[in-house]
Amino acid sequence: MTQRDVDYMIDPVDEPLHFARHRQPQDAEMDITPMIDITFLLLIFFLVSTRLSSEEMVDLPTARHGTAVSDKQAVVITLIKGNGDDATIFKGDGKHPDTVLVSADLDDQQQEIEQYIQHGISIDGKQHVLIKAEPNVKHRDVARVARAAGDVAVSLLYVAVLEE
């Protein structure tokens, strides 16, 4: 045996055995930076490629069920598409020039609608309000008339779409 072999020999009684250090387990962390990068790229893609259009027309299905409302028991208000952005509002059923609302200001129109409904309920003894609107009238105009009817404390409000 050579001296080299002797140096490598370990006598179990004389020297303690040296074991390799155990590695401490690393924390189980996951690097989410690439996932965040992909999320932002997808977000940017959808923001750039999406078209926001609130002017699209929506075709609503025809009503299958409904109740008949008599003109004799309801205050009728008719809305048609006006020349500008706002609808033209008529008191009563039909499009007679005598029954069109005079006011161009929206607040004055609301007061005129409230007075018309109040007159129909208190003097004529009507119980309901019927709003008839053409299909191309904007919802905000119908909602504005419905709010005016609600301010008068109407028991029942009906909305109808005029057929062309």
Instruction: Specify the CATH number for the domain of residue 132.
Output: 3.30.420
Range of the domain at 133: 74-161
Nearest residue to 110 via CA among 146, 163, 161 = 146
Name the range with the highest mean pLDDT among 36-45, 84-93, 142-151.
36-45
Look at residue 42 and tell me if it is in a domain.
no
Look at residue 31 and tell me if it is in a domain.
no
Residue bearing the bigger pLDDT, 5 or 142: 142
The span from the CA of 80 to the CA of 94, in Å, is 10
Look at residue 34 and tell me if it is in a domain.
no
Q: Which amino acid is at 97?
A: P
Contact status, residue 126 vs residue 91, Cβ threshold 8 Å? no
Is 17 a residue whose pLDDT tops 70? no
Look at residue 131 and tell me if it is in a domain.
yes
| Residue 8, pLDDT score | 56
Look at residue 148 and tell me if it is in a domain.
yes
- The share of the chain scoring above pLDDT 70, in percent, equals 75
Q: Average pLDDT for residues 19-39, to the nearest whole number?
A: 79
Look at residue 69 and tell me if it is in a domain.
no
Q: Average pLDDT for residues 22-44, to the nearest whole number?
A: 85
- The C-alpha angle 144, 66, 125, rounded to 5 degrees, equals 60
Look at residue 49 and tell me if it is in a domain.
no
Look at residue 43 and tell me if it is in a domain.
no
Cross-strand pairs, 100: 90
**Per the structure, how many domains does the chain have?**
1
Structure tokens at 40: 């932002």
